[in-house]
Chain A
Amino acid sequence: MSDCLLEAQNLSKHYVVKQSAWKRPQTILALRCASFALYPEQTLAIVGESGSGKTTLAKILVKMEPPSGGALRFHGQSILNGDHKERYALSSKIRLIFQNPYSSLNPRWRVFETLSEPLLLHQKHLSKSKRQTLIEEWLKKVELPVELARRYPHMLSGGQRQRIAIARALILHPEVVVADEPLSALDVSVQDQILKLLHTLKKELHVSYIFISHDLAVVRSIADFVCVMYFGKIVEEGDVYSIFTNSKHPYTKALLESTPRFAMGKRMERAPIKGELPSPFAPPLGCPFHTRCPYATQICRVIEPELRKVEGSMTACHHAEWV
């Protein structure tokens, strides 16, 4: 499709891991055939547990890692094989916000230096005074006092640091921002503020987000479209409404039920799924979720389901109709 901003087709990534000096190196599949499309001014959320391949996907999208297979297009043009110059140009269009604001800012740099770096790299014509005003403007946009520009990261709280990281990502007016769990290191009340900020900036700058999170509840207020990942694979995708009201995949349902809710009175035991992700060194045959799925039958243990349309969303489950 031509109006599509960023399109991924069958992206996959494998790593070769050597577990010990006496063992043969093994290949693990971190990402298996992920396809999605991001449209202008939309937010695509990618949800899954740790180990489901979300961060690998983020790294591929910002070209920190090359994929092992598949295609990635930006404005309809493949961006996987570009030379250094193209990659450089692209790095101002697609930006990343990291998970941990405590380690993603250089501790020896003042906020001013952190925010100048992208400008020095991509807008070399700016004079120092212009840079200064631009940075001050951006500090105001992320609702921080201007004096903060002279501080070092250790003098800031987690929420303030994450705001700096957001300003650093957005200062070049990118078209796509990949946010890799931007809230998970923050308190619930601060998460709320950062979500609101991301929302305001999106409207103001007409930017598209790829929002990665392990918590479905967070995603609900910001996303337009949701992909649920499990074990390196997209198992369900659909618009926010259908995912939250009428999800078809048992894993999505389990994620929704796991989110703590206000309960008047004590909770009954209700962990929706038992166990943990299977080991990537011994991937299960058939549907990767069958080891934890309460609805698994014989077919799930043998044949891996493909994504198919079931009511409003795309689901990779053999039993999506009656689950």
Chain B
Amino acid sequence: MSLLSINNLTVDFMTHRGSVRAVDGIHFEIEKGELLGIVGESGSGKSVTALAILNLLPDNARVEAKEMRFMERDLLTQKTLERSSWLGKDLSMIFQDPVGSLNPCFTIGSQLEEAIQIHRALSPKAVRLEAISLLQSVGLPEPHLQLKAYPHQLSGGMNQRVMIAIAIAHHPSLLIADEPTTALDVTIQAQILDLLLQLNRRYHMSILLVSHDFGVISETCDRILVMRHGKIVEQGETATLLKSPEHPYTQMLLSCCERRGK
């Protein structure tokens, strides 16, 4: 039984000019401890897929699927209240824009402590210690001082580390990372990707990594899905897919990255 299984997922957006299909009947599964990458250009439906799993899409979206299961739970029928008992604990997400996804009015300490308290009854002191150890595990220097900092006082890379600390507060089985490094410099990107790999190894955490950069995906993931216009055009093990891409679109994406890397 796989951790997450998605069967025939379709997402339509209702607009005043008719409905738009963003995701068009995709199937995929994630096993325990697997690193799965979704690669595609903007508009290919990769972020919408990630958001649909978490039920974070706006009200005008219509999500339909034959099956959408995560750890034996049916994601299609669950109510919001039931969902909140395990969201953030078994499944959590990192967003693209780290500065924009943290609340600017609260210190990172209070945001991190909130995430810990929601699923665990701990004394305030224990929560603080837990927060410090989490910040340490994501490699933030001087965590006890940083707890009092506001997001605007930290750099993009440091904010992304805080986001990751919040996401892994309960060692989730699956972490969805939607373009986690797009807003960051290449040197910091390498550090964040290293961190994700460490987490995968240490906690046997599955990661769904979404990116438009084939380089990032191919370095990190075991298996790759290539999306275009809401459909999966090709999928396979990283090594096989890179060696012999079959779909012309995959070949095009690869040649773009190769030319850059030359």
Contacts and interface: CB of A to CB of B under 8 A. Distances in A.
Q: Which label, helix, strand, loop or mixed, suits the secondary structure of the B interface?
A: helix
A168 interface: no
Residue with the greatest number of chain B CB neighbours at <10 A, chosen from A215, A217, A273:
A217
B187 A273 contact: yes
B126 interface: no
Given A262-B214, A269-B198, A187 B41 contact: yes
Nearest to B218: A262
Interface residues of A, number: 39
A70 interface: no
Interface in B193-248: 193-194, 197-198, 212-216, 218-220, 222, 238-239, 242-243
B156 interface: yes
Nearest to B156: A50
A265 B155 CA distance: 31
Given A187-B42, A260-B216, A49 B262 contact: no
B97 to A, nearest CB: 12
Contacts, number: 113
A263 B219 contact: yes
Interface stretch (B47-55, B106-114, B253-261): B253-261
A264 B216 CA distance: 12
Contacts of A64: none
Contacts of A51: 155
Given A255-B187, A269-B194, A273-B187, A261 B215 contact: yes
Interface in B176-204: 185-191, 193-194, 197-198
B187 A49 contact: yes
B124 interface: no
Contact of A260 (B185, B189, B197, B222): B189
A271 B185 contact: no
Interface string A241-252: 000000000000
A301 interface: no
A190 B41 CA distance: 9
B260 A262 contact: no
A254 B182 CA distance: 19
Given A50-B185, A189-B253, A259 B194 contact: no
Contact of A258 (B42, B187, B242): B187
A158 interface: yes
Interface of B: 35, 41-42, 141, 155-158, 185-191, 193-194, 197-198, 212-216, 218-220, 222, 238-239, 242-243, 252-254, 256-262
16 contacts: A49-B185, A188-B213, A214-B186, A254-B187, A258-B187, A260-B216, A260-B218, A261-B219, A261-B261, A262-B219, A262-B242, A265-B239, A266-B238, A267-B219, A270-B190, A275-B141
